[in-house]
Structure 1
């Protein structure tokens, strides 16, 4: 029995070596291709910096209270957000004192806790409109936004005064005082505007919640800056983004001709991203607005992102499902090279999940083969020179990416968070792998006829409330 096991062992090792080779070829090829894609963005960003086209403008003091130049509607959908919606409304009303502001908050009759918290946050401020959806929740975020859009249209008809722009926010957002006036001003010149999103660090979750800080610091300080400069589509993040009123009306007409009830696609999980792309594809002008206030703070939407692994996976699965899988179906592919490149970048979620999964499976195989090699087992097939080149490029690309992640995170959050950003890369990879699998399963269920539901993120605290506690 023992001799038979010794005979079989080399065969198992040879088979594992074959698996190792295939995994290595698959992972290294896509790593190199992805590295070339990212390096192109890096090179463009460096060129923009050197030529002065990526400078972050600093606002003067008093920019926060500047008149909006027209009425602005801010839409906030809310389902089971009683823990944060009251603080969000109260903080927004205090941060944005302009009389032209109207805050539309969408609630549901079967969610009395959120409705009560929203009423408490609004107080007696006449600038707040609480809208109760006729349908029981949860529907979808887009459906709730369409109900708010209908309320905006009804108010315009009653008052005879049209809004100049429409801004989107979520219940967990902590708005910047200068953001509203800055977006309102920008929307007098363009059709769509997006400001940065800044995930706030959470001491109780430095790894799971922290990896959002790293990713947004890189995306909203570099990638979107490049997209804005080269005239590519700016994807809407769903928060801290706004549309010129006329543009949103045109998008609503197009959607209604397709059988929709408003500008937001109720059957889409990432209706905000889709709208940002549609503005570009219909000939509209977009802008990514990166500013700092008089104190040097980034004018951005701050929020707490999921602090537990399960909720982080659920949230990113929804993004991958909506942007990559539904986006492929709903938006198709453009014949413009620039637009196609950006669509490929936006939809790489499932492929990234597969490549990272292969890389970690390769690591598991190596943990078996490495001890065998130390004990005298020799590989039957040496690594080819081309494979060695791919492996070397992949390793150097990883170091390059880690350097960028450290630098951009450290610039926004400090050196400690910059160092953690490198250590958090495995956490981000695990979330990406599991989110990709969950998104694929959800997409397959929709192909079988299952309805899309609002698989929303749970929020337990609002940054403004935590600031008050700290003080």
Structure 2
């Protein structure tokens, strides 16, 4: 046998092993998602969960001081619009916004000053050169809040997290405030805004959040398991923030060495015995009460952002939060941390898309004899194909429901691109994690935002 034929035989063996590996793990992932799907369908059909109606009195006085923390680094293009819009649509006098920037970021500081005519806004300049980490900036804002509490003789009722690129909903503050009546942590949905100049990359965020915050978070809320914080549109009771700091053994509630401190704090509320709630409601016009923002429109920024999420949630989450023996909590931790494995499985599938056609052509030319597919493997492939069709249907349905039928169709077409971004982010996240283990330091790999929804035409 010539070396050429030997190479084809080795390629055929590689195809079989990759196919078996990918088929098994795709089947596991399908069962995981199917569990969430069936629970959600049962909850909806039985009427146990429904999207509620936001209260009409959205300008009603708050039940205590609400402190909104807005950390920023190189956000001159958006932070002024964010602060101006937030102060306009949230007129309550007990609102306090703590906007933080760094001493070496004059552009962001000047943009904040442009919105500083409202006495409810306090600009806090970090005495460190930026960027440190988002959590470190949040800790500086939290310290400013505690200083104000000591001087002013008051105690905030809630600590609310938002980013410089967010556009808040007018009803959101009232919902967060009232949601804390019987919870220690409240999360509202996130609604990425479609961008005409980036239907594919920015658009895939619309698809993912429409399904995640329309289904998965609803199921998690009903199950009573720990709810991860999205870092925006979420409120913590003042007592829970202090309890988290005590649990960490410091005066700072946010872990400066963590890339996804928001996700961590959300889960820590459950670990300290607090109650969490996911509120999904629509206003009188039928619009979702959610935090709107423009997500990355370019491939590089999107990969960097998802690298940070994967690094913080999957790798640091494993190190810092460990696992939970309770079955439902264990299931959710596995779901949260499966992204690196998913990236590997997807990479195998895409390699197969290259290998299999080559081997098929070789078999048609008579230079390679393909191996028969095992019955069990064939069954797995059929099941996975059915699972893929189901996933496409649900992804299209959730996106179409929140945006439009056209976006729902685009959601299916965007899935391969979303997979490529996940593969690239998985490789980078593993590399970044290994580097952090060696150096002992993490970096705020910040996403630059150039436009704010309040400055654009949004529905």
Instruction: Work out whether 1:117 is the aligned partner of 2:124.
Output: no
In the TM superposition, what whole-angstrom CA distance separates every residue of 1:367-399 from its partner, at most 9, and x where no partner exists? 211211222345353111001001111111100
State how 1:63-212 maps to structure 2 within 5 Å. Answer: 63-122=57-116, 124-212=117-205
Partners of 2:48 and 2:400 in 1: how far apart? 22
- The C-alpha deviation readout for 1:316-352, integer Å capped at 9, x for no partner, is 0000000000000000111111111000000011101
Contact 1:240 1:300 in 2 (8 A): yes
Q: Residue 71 of structure 1 contacts residue 163 of structure 1 at CA under 8 Å; is this kept in 2?
A: yes
Runs of 5+ consecutive residues of structure 1 not aligned to the other structure = 1-5
Q: What SS does the aligned partner of 2:227 have?
A: coil
The separation in 1 between residues aligned to 2:46 and 2:60, in whole angstroms, is 31
> More displaced, 48-57 or 318-327?
48-57
Q: Is contact 2:305-2:447 (8 Å) kept?
A: yes
2:323 aligned with 1:323: no
Matched, 1:440 2:458: no
- Per the alignment, residue 3 of structure 1 pairs with none
CA distance in 1, matches of 2:253, 2:399: 35
Find the partner of 2:277 among 287, 293, 313: 287
- Residue aligned with 1:67, SS: coil
Aligned residues: 459
Distance 1:422 1:155 in 2: 50
What is the CA distance between 1:67 and its match in structure 2?
Answer: 1.5
- Measure the CA separation in 2 of the matches of 1:380 and 1:66: 71
Distance in 2, Cα, partners of 1:284 & 1:51: 28
Aligned partners of 2:99 and 2:141 also within 8 Å: yes
Match of 1:34 in 2: 29
SS state at 2:58 partner: helix
Task: Pick the aligned partner of 2:15 from 20, 23, 28.
Answer: 20
**Following superposition, which runs of at least 4 residues in structure 1 exceed 4 angstroms of deviation?**
none
Contact 1:165–1:245 (CA<8 Å) still a contact in 2? yes
Q: Would you say the 8 A contact 1:73–1:102 is kept in 2?
A: yes
CA contact (8 A) 1:88 1:121 kept: no
Residue 230 in structure 1 maps to residue 220 in structure 2: no
How does the TM-score come out when normalised to structure 1? Answer: 0.96
Range that drifts further, 49-58 or 414-423: 49-58
For the residues of structure 2 that align with 1:234 and 1:216, how far apart are their CA atoms? 15
What are the equivalent positions in structure 2 for 1:379-398 lying under 5 Å apart? 379=369, 381-398=371-388
Given candidates 210, 214, 220, the residue that maps to 2:213 is 220
Deviation, 1:230, is 0.9
Q: Which residue does 2:412 correspond to in 1?
A: 422
User: How far apart, in 2, do the equivalents of 1:64 and 1:374 lie?
Assistant: 69
Q: What's the counterpart of residue 334 of structure 2?
A: 344
